[in-house]
A and B are shown apart, each in its own frame.
Chain A
């Protein structure tokens, strides 16, 4: 996988104007456009623990604050903690009255478990957490020391908001004081008023006022805690003081001393599904099983757009024509017609005239909510400043469909002409000419711009209303990174 470690020499221009390598692009089969991580909509699909690969429904994940209940991270070095077992001789209760049976049972050593880090040797015993009788779970849970006070504050402000709302309603009512001719019974007795309040789901007025009345604002003190006396004389043990990452790993407590560190319940991970912003179709959808790395839907550009790789090139010189060798690959299962163009030659995307039928307009009005303005806002003009142009050979190249069996054929066919170097199943080596502008300064990055026109067969079963148009001619623009312009 050279893609992971090498710089991206060939970049495609996404429909939103971003420059990305083909491995990080998607291809929407419904819009027939290249999309990238920037212009698609990401969604959380499912939660799972990356350590135990246990799935967790999202409602449960919400309750558990997105933490796994059985896996823990080391609070000291953030490595995963392992559960260790020890045997502990249970205190044998000398009970003469008890029978032999119970005695045998109580003599059995009991297994106790603690957590230990194999990386930094931190154990849960270091900080005085008692060993647990069960292997997983049951570890003491801590609550935020300020939780009660925060809840008080929230109740207080909720009550105030409630009161404000009430007062507003009162004012409104005073303004239009139109009383009915008949004083109904409900108005006279307070009892039903409370009932109406109950039905409306509003808390009764007494409780809100009591929350306000019982609230005690924070009390300020004139005394501030001074530095401990021994700070000037005590030796500092750096191993006993936590670092910033250790503190921030548990935002609720932020322990200062190492002895207050507690195991961190492992944060869950999510599988994401991706959706095209323009047409709302899924681009990728992972399988539900956390152990599986496969996708249910996987519309990656790598499987749909012809791939271009640089084989080699002559040094780029200003004002000269140099040779460039490229490899073109057809990843699709259909034969592909390919032409190299200048980026200006790409026809502007024509606005499709919608057939004006009642059905269509109705459909339009239904999907009115989802407008494409958001997508338009994300689009931006790509920043392409290329020093060179690839001269278009003006011939149409034909690439065979991908054939997995043909991968094992070694001999490349040499039906060479002045453009095609070699041909091997769905791959093609081409020799092209690179035209560099005379203004290019030596030492500046050499980049070449080339546009591709390729035929694409859409395999999506067409909607009954749409025309059965399966073959499309699509365009994409690429930016090739050819090192630097040579200075002489």
Chain B
């Protein structure tokens, strides 16, 4: 025990991994297989006497306050460590707004005085949990479904496709179907809708989904009486259970469904990586946990592959799916935990001193960061 303490004194403090999602926040230590807590991204605001969502903000100052409160909750209620002088791995989407990133950096460095922050994007982290050279990451979050191709730990940026097909799209459709089936505007709160979805809904197989669209719909699954306390009970019909997730697969002329997004992303990838990517598909995000979603997506991909416009462009013969070593909703977090545990991640951290000198974050959209060193424009950028 004494020896252990000694080692702990010499060693750097175990870093924490932070994934601030739209609906759920994942927070825990590096080197562990699961986050310490998965909590809703909201906190009790004493000044307003209501629960505030982290992502509800109108001004940068409001966002700053939200982040301070949320991190306080995470550090002192859930994980119980001092934020000071401890590194943080921030798991973020590639499409995180710049304001959010910069405010988060400000909060972490100035308010919580962390010693360093490792900024890592979720597609790369998801791919990290597999250990394969190429991976096609389909991340179905709360708001958006993002498809990103990762080849040798590099995200193929031109192949990044995002569609507003997250869990919220499913919730909206489920609420609509429930209203329709119960013949009234139920106006159920979000958490009840989510509970109904989690407990009853599933994604029907391709053949059945096609039958639903035809004149002779299949025999629906059993309906469920769902009681919501004082509001009485709601009938969740088999149709609603089965069709709630259909918006993810609904195709129109814009080709904006989830399987289309996957195929479009593949089509934008370099030709020689496409087969490897299609053979290494991984589904991540809480939205991917719906029963039957993987099977349906696989069937849709195999069907659409042979159809225009993909048939002549995309010469991919097989889709293979990975079984990642963690739950989908915390997969990006797990990647962050693995990255933070190895020295390579720690070496790439943005140190506090560096931030104090120049409060600027690297960003893939910024020309300062993405212009290659020998590019003719580089000379104009290095001033």
- Taking beta carbons and an 8 Å cutoff, which residues of A are in contact with B? 7, 24, 38, 41-44, 47, 59, 61-62, 65-66, 144, 146-147, 149-150, 153-154, 156-158, 160-162, 164-165, 215-222, 224-227, 231-236, 238, 241, 243-244, 247-248, 251-252, 254, 267-270, 272, 373-374, 377-378, 380
Contacts and interface: CB of A to CB of B under 8 A. Distances in A.
Given A150-B338, A156-B131, A232 B219 contact: yes
A330 B78 CA distance: 39
A243 B318 CA distance: 36
Contacts of A156: 131
Contacts of B101: none
A24 B47 CA distance: 11
Nearest to B320: A220
Given A146-B326, A150-B326, A252-B33, A226 B82 contact: no
Nearest to A216: B131
Contacts of B78: 267
Contact of B81 (A44, A147, A233): A44
A161 B80 contact: no
A270 B73 CA distance: 12
Name the 7 nearest CB pairs between A and B, nearest first: A220-B320, A161-B344, A157-B342, A217-B131, A146-B325, A218-B130, A144-B33
15 contacts: A144-B34, A146-B325, A150-B337, A161-B344, A215-B131, A218-B131, A218-B132, A220-B322, A221-B320, A227-B202, A232-B221, A233-B221, A243-B198, A251-B37, A272-B76
A218 B324 contact: yes
Contacts of A62: 8
B322 A157 contact: no
A254 B327 contact: yes
A450 B113 CA distance: 35
B321 interface: yes
A178 B37 CA distance: 54
Nearest to A228: B291
A28 to B, nearest CB: 18
Contacts of B270: none
Contacts of B324: 218
B222 A157 contact: no
Given A227-B292, A233-B221, A241-B199, A220 B321 contact: yes
Interface in B25-83: 26, 28, 31-39, 46, 49, 61, 65, 68, 72, 75-76, 78-82
Interface string B73-117: 001101111101000000000000000000000100011010000
Interface string B318-362: 111111111101100010011101111001000000001000000
Given A162-B343, A220-B132, A268-B80, 14 more contacts: A154-B341, A157-B339, A164-B344, A217-B131, A217-B133, A220-B322, A232-B221, A234-B222, A241-B199, A248-B38, A248-B39, A254-B329, A267-B78, A270-B76
B31 A59 contact: no
Given A226-B205, A244-B198, A378 B319 contact: no
Contact of B325 (A43, A149, A161, A272): A149
Contact of B110 (A162, A221, A377): A377
A231 B204 CA distance: 10
A97 B72 CA distance: 67
B226 interface: yes
B368 interface: no
A247 B61 CA distance: 34
Contacts of B46: 24
Contacts of A233: 221-222
B contact residues, range: 35 or more
Contacts of B133: 217
B173 interface: no
Contact of B35 (A222, A243, A251, A378): A251
Contact of A378 (B82, B111, B198): B111
A268 B37 CA distance: 13
B22 interface: no
Contacts of A380: 61
Contacts of B172: none
A254 B326 CA distance: 10
B80 A61 contact: yes
B326 A243 contact: no
A328 to B, nearest CB: 25
B275 to A, nearest CB: 12
B128 interface: yes
B291 A158 contact: no
Nearest to A240: B199
A334 B221 CA distance: 77
Nearest to B200: A236
Given A66-B36, A146-B325, A147-B33, A161 B202 contact: no
Contacts of B5: 59
Contacts of B128: 153, 157
A37 B289 CA distance: 39
B342 A374 contact: no
Interface in B201-234: 202-205, 219, 221-222, 224, 226
Given A157-B339, A161-B344, A227 B291 contact: yes
Contacts of B199: 236, 238, 241, 243
Contacts of A7: 49
A135 to B, nearest CB: 26
A224 B110 contact: no
A373 B356 contact: yes
Contacts of B339: 157
A248 B78 CA distance: 13
Contact of B341 (A66, A158, A162): A158
Nearest to B347: A161
Contacts of B132: 217-218, 220
A292 to B, nearest CB: 19
A61 B226 CA distance: 41
Contacts of A165: 343
B129 A251 contact: no
B82 A150 contact: no
B280 interface: yes
A43 B292 CA distance: 46
B33 A225 contact: no
Given A41-B113, A227-B292, A154 B342 contact: yes
A76 B326 CA distance: 23
B143 interface: no
A23 to B, nearest CB: 11
A473 B106 CA distance: 35
A15 B78 CA distance: 29
B295 interface: yes
Given A150-B33, A232-B221, A218 B325 contact: yes
B294 A225 contact: yes
A318 B205 CA distance: 68
B348 to A, nearest CB: 10
B43 to A, nearest CB: 13
B130 A217 contact: yes
B343 A158 contact: yes
